[in-house]
A and B are shown apart, each in its own frame.
Chain A
Amino acid sequence: MRTKPGIPLLTGIVLLALSPLLAEAIIRRPLAAGIRSDDPTASEQRNRSAFAIILGNFRSDFSDLIFIKTERYLHSGVGFVPHLDTEAMSNTGEVKQKGAPGSQYEHDPATCTDPTHHHDKDGHDDHESTTSGKAGAAPSPSQVMEANLATPEMRETAELKPGEKRVEEEAEGVATIVPTRNKDFRGFVGDLERAVKPWHDPSTPHTHTAGTELLPWYRLATMSNPNNIRAYMIGAWWLKAMHKEKQREEAVKFLDEGIQNNPKAFQLHVMKGVILREQGKTTASLEAFLVAADLGLAQRPVNYEETTGTVASSQTWTHYMEDDLTAALNFSVLTVRNAEGLGPALRLAKQFQARRGDIPPLNALITRLQSGGGAAAALFLKP
């Protein structure tokens, strides 16, 4: 028996036509989830559980898999052991990087493709040196910020053109996932794996491919997970590293997309400001830095202890975020100083200080501005 769908069908079609309104309304009201799941301390605790690791492998986020893939790509397909010392993990339960005892956050610069990680300086002292000028030949904040935006390896591979390779001389300490013959108990099976899979003897220099070839992977990673802030940051950095205006425009577009998907990610605003500054768009870059500073100051926990990188009230603030906030504050103040003079810059810095007085680099910057800027400060903000 057939029925004649009339009014219900019409209603259905009208509702379907209007359904994107509901979808858009939901997207504009994002959930605040992530307090526990994205917490680095909780991640470390989870990594101590063998059961969690085994089961977690079944649902590894596609976006994270792509990130791992980029590391392999950079090493011509050879899987090098990433940041964790699994032996130490199994013995002590602590997550440590081989050859880098100390901070849990420190890891191997040779395998790190995250531009928000600071390997080429003394980690957290970078920003301190920018404002206090304690180093003998103090680098300009621009230089330091640039250094902080990427690992040395990223900067070196950024010079390569697609298809080119660079030989990494110092291969010490970077083990491959497939072990060497003398460390492999599997005998023939191990030989077979080394023969059929991309493999490289870790005792010999290994090669790096052009980092810009990774860009499609970061594009994929952000498509898979629009909340992958790290992929937006690194993708934008690689685009910026090509030193062409078109790519800088693309980088800004890429970051705008990231900001639209992650309105509270102040790191993206910092990166956007840096690129706009390179483009000579001072006003736009200042706007980006001010937004970053505003968001970052609002998010920074009250009792964050900079020296230890710990905080009692919240576990959502890492020292990388602290560095990014410092960058946002410095760039904001110094851009104003360059554009409008010392007085407005000092006023802005004091406004920041009034909101949060417990950020040592900001206090140091104010001291320097009050003393007239100093010789090193003359180097500030030369793109």
Chain B
Amino acid sequence: MSFSGNPQVAPAPSPVLLITRAVLLETMRRRDFYALFIFMALFLLGALITLVVGIPNAATATFLVNLGLSMAFLFAKILTLLVATRQIPDECEARTIHPLLAKPVRRWQYLLGKWFAATLSGTIALSILFLMGWAPIPHLETFNAVTLLQTLLLQIVSLGFVASLGLLFSLLMPKIMSVVLLAIVIFEGDSIAGFIRARSLGSTFGSVCRWVAGYVPDFNHLDLTRLYTDGLPPLGPTDLLLRLGYGVGLTFVYLVIANAVFSRRSL
């Protein structure tokens, strides 16, 4: 037996990818997705019954397409929220974070891996749920395929945004509180921002309050479902870039802040 040779050693995968893989495996073991899948299956069952009975008119078919898409997007966001907010608190509680960070894994790599995994989990769920909510319903009115692609693209951006906020919130507050608060921000952020804008209208500090309202994340900016189901053409480059910039930019910002908080935190 000779050890003098130079055996082919596969390069070690990046820590980010290793963490991503571990989170994806853990997500598959958990029941969150299956619970959401069952809810979506109920919609699918109803849609199939409708197909058998017959959809009475085009408006109802379009309504069902809208509903299927809305449910798919909602459930994907919920899954991303749950995956993102539990990562760091659970690892701290189980103390598995200590051996992990003792290895040559930088904190930003750890955080990035968790973010990527949460976004990917949400995207995989979105793909499956989208097919369940969109494909079975007959499209009796005209729809624009490019608008659909834009809708899906912005939804994926939106999932990354949810994941970054989830990680940041979980670093700042207890897990349950971060879940509840993030759910409020995701689903009522536009109302909160609208309230601030409405209350400040015409007041001395109106423009200041309007500016402050701009800090409340508004996921409606990234939702084109109605545009698609109304059969409208896709967004122009400016509108699309503004929305992409909003989603991607804020995702980056919240990830950077989460990294800063995480780096200063003693475990």
Contacts and interface: CB of A to CB of B under 8 A. Distances in A.
A48 B55 CA distance: 10
A46 B256 CA distance: 46
A43 to B, nearest CB: 8
Contacts of A223: 191, 194-195, 198
A55 B242 contact: no
Interface stretch (A33-41, A80-88, A151-159): A33-41
Chain A contact patch, size range? 35 or more
A378 to B, nearest CB: 38
B244 to A, nearest CB: 10
A11 B239 contact: no
Given A12-B256, A12-B257, A19-B214, A36 B104 contact: no
Contact of B214 (A11, A23, A52): A23
B64 A55 contact: yes
Contacts of A257: 198, 201
Interface in B9-56: 43, 46, 49-50, 53, 55-56
Given A26-B221, A36-B231, A222-B198, A56 B63 contact: yes
A58 to B, nearest CB: 8
B214 A35 contact: no
Interface stretch (B90-98, B120-128, B246-254): B246-254
B41 to A, nearest CB: 14
A226 B188 CA distance: 13
Interface in B210-246: 210-215, 218, 221, 224, 226-227, 229-232, 235, 238-239, 242-243, 245-246
A36 B59 contact: yes
Contact of A55 (B59, B67, B263): B67
Given A37-B226, A48-B57, A55-B64, A32 B106 contact: no
Interface in A1-34: 1-5, 8-9, 11-13, 15-16, 19-26, 29, 31-34
B202 interface: yes
A22 B253 contact: no
28 contacts: A2-B107, A5-B256, A8-B259, A9-B260, A13-B257, A15-B253, A16-B215, A19-B215, A20-B210, A20-B213, A20-B214, A23-B214, A23-B221, A29-B238, A31-B226, A33-B226, A33-B227, A35-B230, A36-B59, A39-B59, A45-B56, A48-B60, A49-B63, A51-B46, A51-B64, A55-B67, A260-B201, A261-B194
B107 A23 contact: no
A3 B194 CA distance: 38
A261 B49 CA distance: 40
Contact of B43 (A23, A25, A29, A55): A55
Nearest to B245: A22
B158 interface: no
A224 interface: yes
B230 A15 contact: no
B60 A37 contact: no
Interface in A197-252: 222-224, 226
A1 B15 CA distance: 13
A51 B68 CA distance: 13
Nearest to B101: A1
Contacts of B221: 23, 26
Interface centre among A4, A23, A26 (most CB of B within 10 A): A23
Contacts of B231: 35-36
A46 B245 CA distance: 36
Interface centre among B70, B212, B239 (most CB of A within 10 A): B239
A10 to B, nearest CB: 9
B56 A29 contact: no
Given A26-B242, A34-B226, A52 B194 contact: no
B14 to A, nearest CB: 15
A55 B46 contact: yes
B106 A1 contact: yes
A13 B46 CA distance: 47
A48 B56 contact: yes
B107 A22 contact: no
Given A36-B62, A223-B191, A253 B202 contact: yes
Given A46-B63, A223-B191, 11 more contacts: A9-B256, A23-B213, A23-B246, A24-B210, A29-B238, A31-B224, A45-B58, A51-B60, A55-B64, A223-B195, A257-B201
A39 B242 CA distance: 28
B108 interface: yes
B250 A19 contact: yes
Contacts of A1: 101, 104-107
Interface in B160-208: 191, 193-195, 198, 201-202
B57 A45 contact: yes
A256 interface: yes
Nearest to A63: B191
A59 interface: yes
A5 B262 CA distance: 10
A42 interface: yes
A41 B62 CA distance: 13
Interface in A243-278: 253, 256-257, 260-261
Contacts of B210: 20, 24
Given A8-B259, A253-B201, A257-B198, A51 B50 contact: yes
A26 B60 CA distance: 30
